[in-house]
Amino acid sequence: MTAYTGRVATTARGRTIGSRIAASLLYPLGLPTLLLVVWGLVATRTTSRFFPDPLTIAEAFRETWIGPAFVEDVLPSLARLGLGVAASIVLGVAAGTVIGLTHWLRELLEPLLEFLRAIPPPVLIPVVMLLLGITDTMKVVVIVSGAVWPILLNTIEGVRGTDSVMKETAESFRVSWWERLRFLVLPAASPRIMAGVRQALSVALILMVISEMFASSSGLGYRIAYFQRNYLIAEMWSGILLLGLVGVFLAVAFGLVERRVLRWYHGIREVNRA
């Protein structure tokens, strides 16, 4: 029989608690540690200057980002990112709800939105630059102009997919428009909205970096591009690492928020599955 099935059988067999704890630590940490060690060994042997060893990068990370640079470059970037994402959510959900609830409006705008969504978001950076100049507002607008689409389109779909029986029940019980929105339509659309927000987050992060690489004299994206142009290799790697950490942090934070917002939904799904 296959090795695959044999493996399952051995893990299922009883084990001591100690080895189980060791396994639960070893699994998540084993491979990253191994890779770091291999990287370190390769980096010390290779002649390529572009791959410094992990310790040098860690050192550069500490020197570059911990200190005033954090306040000058990282925080403003993150603030713009947060502002852009927040504006996208508000705009996307509000407009999406209206469009999703109005039949003719949806049909009117569908092809247009389909086209606007298909524009690769970074292409909008030069356009927004042209319209607004190189300002902080421009960077936030760039983020919104890319991140709003997944939220908007998912909200429209979600609102449209509200259970019709529930909708009619709410109508016949004369639940007010506002209450219907608050207690029926938005919760019904929330799984789709959250899926949209997840997509929007990664788009927003990309746009934050590129808009700064393109037109800025501060910010995370600018710094990384600056290090590269000046051959500050370890510093550049530390910037990539920091961006990675920001990405991971966003993913984790979003996961927590999503679990909280959609607790009822996951509950229902679990009940249905069982």
Partner 1 sequence: MRVFPTRRLRALRRAMLGVVGLTGFLVLWQLIPTLGLINPLYLPYVTDVLARLFEQLVDLAFWRRLGSTMTSWAIGLTVATLAAVAVGTVVGLVPFLRRATHTMVEFLRPIPSVALIPLAVLMFGIQRQAALVIIIYASFWQVFVQVIYGVADVDVVARDTARSFGLTRREQLSHLVLPTTLPYLMTGLRLAAAVALILAITAEMVIGNLGLGRMIELSRSAGDAAGLYALVVVTGLLGLMVNIVFRFIERRVLSWHQSVRGEEPL
Residue identified by tokens 């296959």 is 2
- Compute the least distance from the CB of residue 25 to partner 1, in Å: 11
Judged by CB under 8 A, does residue 61 bind partner 1? no
Residue identified by tokens 């060791």 is 22
Judged by CB under 8 A, does residue 138 bind partner 1? no
Pairwise CA distance, residues 41 & 30, whole Å: 17
Q: Which of 190, 227, 234, 258 binds partner 1 (CB under 8 A)?
A: 227
Gyration radius (Cα) of the chain, Å: 24
Judged by CB under 8 A, does residue 171 bind partner 1? no
Judged by CB under 8 A, does residue 96 bind partner 1? no
Judged by CB under 8 A, does residue 18 bind partner 1? no
Residues numbered 196 to 215 that lie near partner 1 (CB under 8 A) are 202, 205-206, 209-210, 213-214
Q: Which of 114, 168, 171, 179 binds partner 1 (CB under 8 A)?
A: 114
Give how far Cα 222 sits from Cα of 2, 73, 76, 219, 229, Å: 52, 9, 12, 5, 11
Pairwise CA distance, residues 258 & 265, whole Å: 10
Nearer of residues 183 and 249 to partner 1, judged by Cβ: 249
Pairwise CA distance, residues 78 & 214, whole Å: 17
Contacting range for partner 1; rule: CB under 8 A; set: 56-64, 135-143, 220-228, 259-267? 220-228
Q: Which of 27, 178, 260, 271 binds partner 1 (CB under 8 A)?
A: 27
Judged by CB under 8 A, does residue 81 bind partner 1? no
Dihedral sign of CA atoms 193, 198, 202, 205 in order: positive
Pairwise CA distance, residues 96 & 113, whole Å: 11
Nearer of residues 17 and 112 to partner 1, judged by Cβ: 112
Pairwise CA distance, residues 219 & 210, whole Å: 10
- Compute the least distance from the CB of residue 95 to partner 1, in Å: 14
How many residues contact partner 1, by CB under 8 A?
62
CB of 84 closer than 8 Å to CB of 208: yes
Give how far Cα 198 sits from Cα of 28, 80, 147, 195, 252, Å: 24, 17, 10, 5, 11
Q: Which of 87, 247, 261, 265 binds partner 1 (CB under 8 A)?
A: 247
Judged by CB under 8 A, does residue 119 bind partner 1? yes
Judged by CB under 8 A, does residue 47 bind partner 1? no
Pairwise CA distance, residues 219 & 209, whole Å: 8
Pairwise CA distance, residues 236 & 240, whole Å: 6
Judged by CB under 8 A, does residue 125 bind partner 1? yes
Two structure tokens written together for 198:
């997840």
Q: Give the footprint of partner 1 on this chain (CB under 8 A).
A: 1-2, 4-5, 7-8, 11, 27-32, 35, 50, 104, 107-112, 114-127, 129-131, 202, 205-206, 209-210, 213-214, 221, 224-225, 227-228, 233, 236-237, 239-240, 243-244, 247-248, 250-251
